[in-house]
Structure 1
Amino acid sequence: MPSPEPTVSTSNLAEQLVRLTRRMHRAQKHHLEHLDIAFTPAQSRLLRIVDHYRDTPPRMADLAERLEVVPRAVTTLVDALEANGAVRRVPDPANRRVVRIELTDTGRSTLRALRSARRAAAEEILAPLTADQREILGGLLSTLVDGPGVPH
């Protein structure tokens, strides 16, 4: 017996995911307005990645690989974040020709504000869901994010 047709089309789900992502970005931006923080999603992601390297600050090449972009794109992002005082370029102590990127105190406080705004935006968006629905949604999202079929 053939499986039943899904009640929601894949294209409709795709559109809903895009709309939800946009809504999340708008809500996060709203929660940051009073802080006068204006970072792009790509800059925010770069800050999170730099913070991930706790022991040794990453090289530009490490960042390009993690962001899956060409090194020139990372240079542009780092330039903007450096101009805002969020990161700084530092020479590698083992090889002075290698430049590493580290968070500044401003970058760390900006990252805390970004995370707080993201949590507040998520709370706002998830407010209509019950605890059980949030649990189910979390499991579904984990399956989609971590599942097979899409290169990371």
Structure 2
Amino acid sequence: MEGRRDGGRGGSAPGVDDAIRELLLLMPRMVGRAKRIPVPDELQSLALAPRHLSLLSYLLFDGPMAVNDLAARLGVAPTTVSLMVGELSRKGILERREDDSDRRRRIVSINDSKRPPIADWLAQGATAWRHALAPLTPDQRRTFIDTLLAYEAGMAGDEDD
């Protein structure tokens, strides 16, 4: 095991093992804090699950889009997104309409009445990420995102290290 043993922040860069140790302690705290973000009263009865957060985030930040586009961004099958959209539409959270340029396609958007509480709910996380990422250069942000993606893939067993 190489690297610093002081576990401190700042100063010289930690070795790989010390960085791992620090992240293993940090990740559960981050997840715990994210889980404690209160669901707004207007959304409490809708039984939203973590799987809905990514879908809602895309629609909130990027605007209305087709089911296939959502599926590509979420990295899941279009049928999975169709099921989630159907569920959230029945709850009045999402709306589906025909695409003006292709009537076979459905465009999904957040219901205007649900947009403010969803924006409020997701704002704390977005604000925290903005504060964390703003001081970094674009290359540093790319490295950070790529590192998190590699970690996720490793946890899913997608890497052979």
- Is the contact made by 1:32 and 1:113 (CA closer than 8 Å) also made in structure 2? no
Q: 5 Å matches for 1:21-36?
A: 21-28=30-37, 31-32=38-39, 34-36=41-43
* Greater relative CO (CA pairs within 8 A, separation 6+): 1
Contact kept, 8 Å, 1:32 with 1:117, in 2: the verdict is no
Residue identity opposite 2:74 in structure 1: L
The corresponding residue for 1:111 is 118
Classify the secondary structure of the residue corresponding to 2:109: strand
Distance 1:21 1:76 in 2: 29
Gaps of 5+ in 2: 8-16, 154-161
Kindly indicate whether residue 91 of structure 2 is the aligned counterpart of residue 84 of structure 1.
yes
Counterpart selection for 1:101 from 96, 100, 108: 108
More helix by share: 1
Of 18, 28, 37, which aligns to 1:19?
28
Residue matched to 2:56 = 47
SS at match of 2:65: coil
Query: Where do 5+ consecutive residues of structure 1 fail to align?
Result: 123-133
The alignment-based identity, stated in percent, is 21
CA RMSD for the aligned pairs?
3.6
Separation (CA, whole Å) in 2 of partners of 1:16 and 1:81:
35
Q: How many residues align?
A: 133
CA distance in 2, matches of 1:109, 1:12: 39
Shift of 1:43: 0.8
- SS of structure 2 residue aligned to 1:6: coil
Q: For 1:106, what is the secondary structure of its paired residue?
A: coil
Q: Structure 1 length as normaliser, TM-score?
A: 0.66
For 2:92 and 2:84, the matched residues in 1 are separated by 12
Aligned letter for 1:23? G
TM, length-normalised to structure 2: 0.63
Q: 1:52 to 1:35 in 2, by over 3 A?
A: closer
